[in-house]
Structures are given as C-alpha cells and as structure tokens.
Amino acid sequence: MENRKLGKSGLEVSALGLGCMGMSFGFGPAGDKQEMISLIRSAVDSGVTFFDTAEVYGPFTNEELVGEALSPIRDQVVVATKFGFRPASTGEGRWSELDSRPEHIREVADASLKRLRIETIDLFYQHRVDPNVPIEDVAGAVSDLIQEGKVRHFGLSEAGVNTIRRAHAVQPVAALQSEYSLWWREPEKEILPLLEELGIGFVPFSPLGKGFLTGKIDENTTFSSTDFRNVVPRFSPEARKANQAIVDLIGRVAERKNATPAQVALAWVLAQKPWIVPIPGTTKLHRLKENLGALDVELTSEELSEIDLATSQIDIQGARYPENFARMIDR
C-alpha cells in the first residue's frame, strides 16, 4: 500500500482511506455490526491505515463500531472524527444545529475518545463551519486539546478559503475534508491552490459521487427509504438521466484500462495531487477490494487531459445538497 503525507503536518496515511459513515448511517439501513467490524479489519489487513467517522453518524453508533473494530490494532491506524453539531431542539434524531462553542468541542472530544476506545484522536475535524463562533475560537479550543494530548491534528470540513486561512493562523490545519470527484470539481478553483500554498492535505469524501460514478446507478434505481440520496437534487431521476454522460465517459476509459469505472474515478482523484487522500466508503468486501485496485490504475497525462476536456463539455445537473444542508456550507 502506498502511503501519502497530508500536507506539511507530518501525518502519514494510506493513499486510500475508508469512509465508515455508510456502515451505520446515511445510505439505507445500518450494516450488520459483526460484518462491518470484519470489513474494517479486512481493510487494515489490505494496508488501509486511515479511517473516518463522526459523532453524528448514527448518531454515535459509527464511532462505537469503528472503536470496537480498531481497538486491537490501534497502533497501526489513524482515526479521524468530527465535532460541530448538536441534536436539534425539534425533530427526533435530527442533527441540524451547528455548535462549535469551545466548551462543546471539549465535551465532544471526551465522549468520542470513549466511544473510539482511544487516548488521542489523530485528526479532529470541525464538521461544518459554525457562523456563530469565530473560527479563531474553534482553532484555539482544538489547540488546547492538542496541548493536553487528547488530539494530534486539527482539520476542517467544507470550509471556505477565508475560514481556512484564519484557522490556520491560530492552529495549523493538517487536512481539509470536502467533496471532490469527477462530478464535483469546485475545489479546484480556490481551495486546492490555497491548500498547496499553506501545506494542508486534502481528504475528498464522496470521490465516487455517492456511488453514481461506479456505473451501478441509473435513472431507474430506487433507494431505501432511509437513504440520504432520496433528497439530493443531483439524484433525482431526471438529473441521473442527464448525468449519465459522465458515467459513460468514465466507462469508456475504464474499458480501455481494463479497470472498473470506480477504479478510474478514484485513480483520477489520486492523480490530481500527491497530498490528496480519498476516503471512499463501502459496506461490501468485494467493493473494498475493487476500490483498492484503483491504486494499480495509472492514468497518463494524455488520458488525464482527455478526461478534462471531455468533462468540461458535460453540464452536470442537480445541486449536490438539498437546501437545508447547502446553507451550512462555508463560502
């Protein structure tokens, strides 16, 4: 397994991580606990050292799952989790209220440490930027946790350039986690240049477009009633039909490379910068193995140029988030 360094932080992880959210939350019913533990440990056996979770995944159950799975092999892995939400005052099970007050960050850290069965959180992300709390206060709170040995590295998620700069000035940001894939390339405009300038690593979530870029989803696909994609505009049947063009493009490249569309989509992300570490998620062992096979797919500069040219002519349809989620994205 190839390793990569997340910017100048000194944090070194496997070139592909594993996003664990879908094992408990977000994409339909939670997976069988013992099967998910086995899957996580199979990932470790395959060389994966970077695992991503958050308190809100479940809530809480995903951290507990990851903690149980990794506790026997804690010294071999890097565990990332997140803070920044609290249960909403209305609506059972909803976590739509942001809360990055320093005292709440400390509470979340202590609770996450227990659920994850660890003494130090390797990478602690602010899950979403809280407009009611200055980012300097957030960075300061995490800095205090780093000084106390409860956290090793500070991260941000879906943060804008100004927020990243301000946070980094108080406590160096090791990594930014945001969506990035062949069908969401917005970070290329301002975010990636800033990360390169500051020496911050990039951890793309949904590098497979929430499954769409695998070629296994079309306009007729139906999702479980608890699947988040039911409310994502980009996953409306009309949008899926319109967006099939990018899947067809990836499929043509994959056929030529004797690879799968998922492997080409991941190989493309990996080829962008050496400090980018995608975290595709899965609940299936054969998909884990397929994703790891992307590390053996090398796209030439000519192929990358070809993909860039072709994708520039495809107008992706549909917003990537419903409005209530979109309003939490920092600009």
Length of the chain: 331
Task: Please state, in angstroms and as integers, the Cα–Cα distance from residue 60 to each residue in 51, 105, 113, 143, 315, following that order.
Answer: 15, 15, 12, 24, 38
Residues 1/48, Cβ–Cβ less than 8 Å = yes
How far apart (Å, rounded) are the C-alpha atoms in residues 154 and 19?
18
Answer yes or no: 125 catalytic: no
The distance from CA 66 to its chain's CA centroid, rounded to whole angstroms, is 15
Give bridge partners of residue 153 from the DSSP assignment. Answer: 123
Q: Which DSSP helix (H) or strand (E) runs through 38?
A: helix 33-45
List the one residue out of 325, 258, 323 whose CA is nearest residue 294.
258
The answer for residues whose C-beta is within 8 angstroms of residue 258's C-beta and 6 or more apart is none
- Of the listed 57, 125, 180, 321, which one is catalytic? 57
List the one residue out of 279, 326, 301 whose CA is nearest residue 52.
279
Active site positions, annotated: 57
